[in-house]
Amino acid sequence: MRIPLSWLRDYVDVTLPADELAERLTRSGLEVDAVEKLGVADSELPWDPTLVLVCNILEVTQHPNADRLVLAEVEYGPGLVHTVVTGAPNLYQYKGLGRLNHPLKSVFAKEGAVLYDGHVEGKVKVKLKGKPVRGVMSDAMLCSEKELGISEEHEGIMILPDDAPTGTPLVDYLGDVVIDIDVLPNMARTLSMVGMAREIAALTGQTVRLPDPQVTPSGADINSIAKVTIEATALCPRFTATMVKNVTIKPSPFWMQRRLTMAGMRPINNIVDISNYVMLELGTPNHTFDADCVANNHIVVRTAKTGEQLTTLDGRTHQLNDGHLLVCDTAQALSVAGVMGGESSEVSERTRNVLVEAAVWEPTIIRRMSTAFKLRSEASKRFERGVDPEMLDLSQRRLTQLLSDYADGHVVTGMIDVRSQPKREVVIALSTHEVKRILGLTFTRDQVAELLAPLGFVCTPHDVDTLHVAVPSYRGDVSHTADLCEEVARMYGYDNLPSTIMADELPVQRTNLTREREHFTRDILTGAGLNEAITYSLTSREAAAKLDPAELEADHYLRLANPLSPEREFMRRSILPTLLESANVNIRERGVTRLFEIGRVYHPRPDAILPNEPLRAAVVLAGPRVPASWQSSTPESMDFFDVKGAIECLVERLRIADVTYAPSTVPYLQPGRAADVMVRHGKELVTIGHFGELHPDARERFGLPAVRIGVAELDLHTMLELASVPRYQSISRYPATTQDLAMIAPVSVSAEQIEKSIRKYSGNALSNVEIFDVYTGAQVGEGMRSIAYRITLRASDRTLSDDEVSKIRAKIIRGVEFDTGAKIRS
Q: What is the 3-state secondary structure (H, E, C) of 339-360?
A: CEEEHHHCCCCCCCCEEEEEEE
Please check whether the domain covering 218-419 is classified as CATH 3.50.40.10. Answer: yes
Bridge-based pairing state of the strands 593-600 and 531-532: parallel
Three-state SS for 747?
coil
CA distances from 105 to 102, 171, 286, 475 (A): 9, 15, 34, 45
CA distances from 677 to 17, 686, 687, 692 (A): 66, 8, 6, 11
Residue 322 has what pLDDT? 87
Judging by beta carbons within 10 Å of its beta carbon (0-12, 13-18, 19+), is residue 462 exposed, middle or buried? Answer: middle
Q: CA 103 to CA 106: how far, in whole Å?
A: 10
Half-sphere exposure of 815 toward its Cβ, with a 13 Å CA cutoff? 18
Residue 579 has what pLDDT? 95
Do 624 and 636 form a contact (C-beta atoms < 8 A)? yes
Mean pLDDT in residue range 716-745:
88
CA distances from 348 to 247, 326, 327, 405 (A): 11, 21, 19, 19
- Superfamily name and number for 513-722: Bira Bifunctional Protein; Domain 2 (3.30.930.10)
Three-state SS for 384?
helix
Residue 664 has what pLDDT? 92
Please check whether the domain covering 52-174 is classified as CATH 2.40.50.140. Answer: yes
Distance of CA 732 to the CA centre of its chain: 59
Bridge-based pairing state of the strands 416-419 and 410-413: unpaired
Q: Which residues, 6 or more positions from 305, have their beta carbon under 8 angstroms from its beta carbon? A: 320, 322
Mean pLDDT in residue range 312-323:
89
Residue 429 has what pLDDT? 96
Do 466 and 524 form a contact (C-beta atoms < 8 A)? no
The kind and range of the H/E element at 677 are strand 669-681
Going by pLDDT thresholds of 50, 70 and 90, the confidence category of residue 75 is very high
Query: pLDDT digits over 602-649, tens only?
Result: 998 888 888 999 999 999 999 998 888 887 778 889 999 999 999 999
Half-sphere exposure of 779 toward its Cβ, with a 13 Å CA cutoff? 7
DSSP states along 577-607: HHHHHHHHHHHHHHS-EEEEEEEE--B--TT
Q: CA 649 to CA 646: how far, in whole Å?
A: 5
Query: pLDDT digits over 171-190, tens only?
Result: 999 999 999 999 988 889 99
Residue 511 has what pLDDT? 83
Radius of gyration of the chain (CA): 38
Q: CA 677 to CA 314: how far, in whole Å?
A: 53
Residue 347 has what pLDDT? 92
Residue 710 has what pLDDT? 95
pLDDT at 778 over 90: no
Domain span(s) for CATH 3.30.56.10 in the chain: 2-40+177-204, 426-496
Question: Of 492, 452, 456, 491, whose CA–CA distance to 474 is shortest?
Answer: 456
Mean pLDDT in residue range 153-168:
92
pLDDT at 727 over 80: no
The CA-based angle 248-249-253, given to 5 degrees, is 100
Residue type, 645: G
Question: Of 167, 128, 121, whose CA–CA distance to 146 is shortest?
Answer: 121
pLDDT at 721 over 80: yes
Question: Of 683, 679, 710, 506, whose CA–CA distance to 592 is shortest?
Answer: 710
Going by pLDDT thresholds of 50, 70 and 90, the confidence category of residue 85 is very high
| Sign of torsion over alpha carbons 686, 691, 692, 694 | positive
Residue type, 75: E
Query: pLDDT digits over 732-773, tens only?
Result: 889 999 999 999 999 989 888 999 999 999 988 898 999 999
Residue 711 has what pLDDT? 96
Query: pLDDT digits over 583-597, tens only?
Result: 999 998 888 999 999
Mean pLDDT in residue range 540-556:
85
pLDDT at 37 over 90: yes
Residue 400 has what pLDDT? 96
CATH architecture assigned to 426-496: 2-Layer Sandwich (3.30)
The kind and range of the H/E element at 172 are helix 170-174
Residue 115 has what pLDDT? 94
At residue 307, φ and ψ (nearest 5 deg) are 90, -10
Going by pLDDT thresholds of 50, 70 and 90, the confidence category of residue 826 is confident
Q: CA 209 to CA 457: how far, in whole Å?
A: 17
Residue 166 has what pLDDT? 93
Three-state SS for 813?
helix
Domain span(s) for CATH 3.30.70.380 in the chain: 737-824
Half-sphere exposure of 738 toward its Cβ, with a 13 Å CA cutoff? 9
Residue 730 has what pLDDT? 81
Least confident of 187-196, 267-276, 555-564, 817-826: 555-564
Q: CA 271 to CA 288: how far, in whole Å?
A: 8
Residue 490 has what pLDDT? 92
Q: CA 427 to CA 425: how far, in whole Å?
A: 7
Question: Of 427, 295, 287, whose CA–CA distance to 361 is shortest?
Answer: 287
Going by pLDDT thresholds of 50, 70 and 90, the confidence category of residue 125 is very high
* CATH code for residues 737-824: 3.30.70.380
Please check whether the domain covering 2-40+177-204 is classified as CATH 3.30.56.10. Answer: yes
Question: Of 150, 176, 177, 149, whose CA–CA distance to 32 is shortest?
Answer: 177
Mean pLDDT in residue range 264-274:
93
Q: CA 285 to CA 690: how far, in whole Å?
A: 54
**Over the chain, what is the mean pLDDT?**
92
680: number of Cβ within 10 Å: 14
Residue 100 has what pLDDT? 92
Per-residue DSSP letter, 635: P
Residue 673 has what pLDDT? 93
Per-residue DSSP letter, 315: S
Three-state SS for 162?
coil
Question: Of 641, 554, 642, whose CA–CA distance to 594 is shortest?
Answer: 642
pLDDT at 307 over 90: no
Do 76 and 169 form a contact (C-beta atoms < 8 A)? no
819: number of Cβ within 10 Å: 16
Bridge-based pairing state of the strands 426-431 and 466-471: antiparallel
Bridge-based pairing state of the strands 70-77 and 227-230: unpaired
Query: pLDDT digits over 208-240, tens only?
Result: 999 999 999 988 999 999 999 999 999 999 999
pLDDT at 554 over 80: no
Domain span(s) for CATH 2.40.50.140 in the chain: 52-174
CA distances from 134 to 69, 112, 118, 126, 129 (A): 9, 21, 20, 21, 16
pLDDT at 724 over 90: no
Query: pLDDT digits over 353-392, tens only?
Result: 999 999 999 999 999 898 888 888 899 999 999 999 999 9
Question: Of 78, 87, 84, 4, whose CA–CA distance to 40 is shortest?
Answer: 4
Q: CA 752 to CA 462: how far, in whole Å?
A: 82
Query: pLDDT digits over 398-446, tens only?
Result: 999 999 999 999 999 999 999 999 998 999 999 999 999 999 899 999 9
Three-state SS for 499?
coil
pLDDT at 245 over 80: yes
